[in-house]
Amino acid sequence: MTQALDHDVAGDWGVHQQATRLLESGAIQEGVRLLGDVADRTTDGLLRSMCTYNLGEVLESLGQIDEAYQTYYPLAHASPTTRNEFDHRARVRVMDIFSTRALRVTPPDFPPKVQIEITNRCNLRCVMCTRHQMQRPLGDLGWETFQRIADECSAETGCVLSLYFLGESLLHANFDQMVRYLERVRHRSPVPLVYGLQTNGTLLTRRRARVLLASGLREIGISLDGLSGDLERVRPGASYEVIERNVLGLLETAGEMGIDDLLVDICKLCDDPHSAEARRFVEHWQGKVRNVHLMHITKVEGLSYLGADGSIQPVGPKQHSPPRAYCGEGSRLLIHWNGDFAFCCSDIDGELKLGNIRDRSIREAWNSSEMEDLRGRMLAADYAGLSACLRCPHSYS
Ligand SMILES: C[S@@+](CC[C@H](N)C(=O)[O-])C[C@H]1O[C@@H](n2cnc3c(N)ncnc32)[C@H](O)[C@@H]1O
85-131 per-position pLDDT tens digit: 999 999 999 999 999 999 999 999 999 999 999 999 999 999 999 99
Which residue has a Cα nearest atom 27 of ligand 1? Answer: 223
The mean per-residue pLDDT over the stretch 356-377 comes to: 97
Closest ligand 1 atom to residue 130 Cα is: 16
3-state secondary structure of 17: helix
Lay out the sheet containing 341-342: strands in order across.
Answer: 291-296, 263-270, 219-223, 194-199, 160-162, 113-116, 332-335, 341-342
Given ligand 1 and candidates 129, 231, 246, 301, which is best to mutate, with the most ligand atoms within 8 Å of its CB? Answer: 129
Question: What pLDDT is recorded for position 351?
Answer: 94
What is the Rg, in whole angstroms, of the alpha carbon atoms belonging to the chain?
24
Task: Specify the pairing of strand 312-314 against strand 194-199.
Answer: unpaired
Q: Is pLDDT at 397 greater than 70 in this prediction?
A: no
DSSP string for residues in 126-157:
-TT-GGGG--SPP-B--HHHHHHHHHHHHTST
End-to-end CA distance of the chain: 70
Q: Is pLDDT at 7 greater than 60 in this prediction?
A: no
Closest ligand 1 atom to residue 165 Cα is: 3
How far is the C-alpha of 24 from the C-alpha of 31, rounded, in Å? 9
H or E element that contains 354: none
Given ligand 1 and candidates 116, 118, 122, 126, which is best to mutate, with the most ligand atoms within 8 Å of its CB? Answer: 126
Question: What pLDDT is recorded for position 396?
Answer: 59
Closest ligand 1 atom to residue 267 Cα is: 27
Task: Count the residues in the chain.
Answer: 397
H or E element that contains 115: strand 113-116
Given ligand 1 and candidates 128, 166, 329, which is best to mutate, with the most ligand atoms within 8 Å of its CB? Answer: 128
DSSP label of 193: P
Query: How many angstroms separate the alpha carbon of residue 390 from the centre of ligand 1?
Result: 21
Query: How many angstroms separate the alpha carbon of residue 223 from the centre of ligand 1?
Result: 7
Q: Please tell me the pTM assigned to this model.
A: 0.94
Helices (H) and strands (E) in the chain, counts: 14, 10
Which residue has a Cα nearest atom 9 of ligand 1? Answer: 199
Query: How many angstroms separate the alpha carbon of residue 129 from the centre of ligand 1?
Result: 6
CB 69 within 8 A of CB 57: no
List, chain by chain if needed, residues with CB within 6 Å of any ligand 1 atom: 122, 128-131, 164, 166, 168, 198-200, 223, 267, 269, 297-298, 300
Closest ligand 1 atom to residue 168 Cα is: 6
How far is the C-alpha of 273 from the C-alpha of 269, rounded, in Å? 9
Closest ligand 1 atom to residue 269 Cα is: 25
The mean per-residue pLDDT over the stretch 350-354 comes to: 93
How far is the C-alpha of 96 from the C-alpha of 56, rounded, in Å? 13
Contacts of 113 (CB under 8 A, 6+ apart): 99, 159, 160, 161, 162, 331, 332, 333
Query: How many angstroms separate the alpha carbon of residue 293 from the centre of ligand 1?
Result: 13
3-state secondary structure of 40: helix
How far is the C-alpha of 106 from the C-alpha of 96, rounded, in Å? 13
pLDDT digits (tens, 9 = 90+) for 266-318: 999 999 999 999 999 999 999 999 999 999 999 999 999 998 888 999 998 87
Query: How many angstroms separate the alpha carbon of residue 198 from the centre of ligand 1?
Result: 9
Given ligand 1 and candidates 223, 242, 281, which is best to mutate, with the most ligand atoms within 8 Å of its CB? Answer: 223
Question: What pLDDT is recorded for position 308?
Answer: 85
Which residue, 222, 206, 203, is CA-closest to 281? 222
Query: How many angstroms separate the alpha carbon of residue 67 from the centre of ligand 1?
Result: 34
Amino acid at the residue 277: E
pLDDT digits (tens, 9 = 90+) for 144-176: 999 999 999 999 999 999 999 999 999 999 999
- Packed helices 65-76 and 85-101: angle between N→C axes, nearest 10 degrees: 130
Closest ligand 1 atom to residue 305 Cα is: 19
Q: What is the mean pLDDT of the chain?
A: 94
Query: How many angstroms separate the alpha carbon of residue 125 from the centre of ligand 1?
Result: 11
Query: How many angstroms separate the alpha carbon of residue 257 from the centre of ligand 1?
Result: 30
Closest ligand 1 atom to residue 296 Cα is: 21
pLDDT > 90 fraction of the chain, expressed in percent and rounded: 89
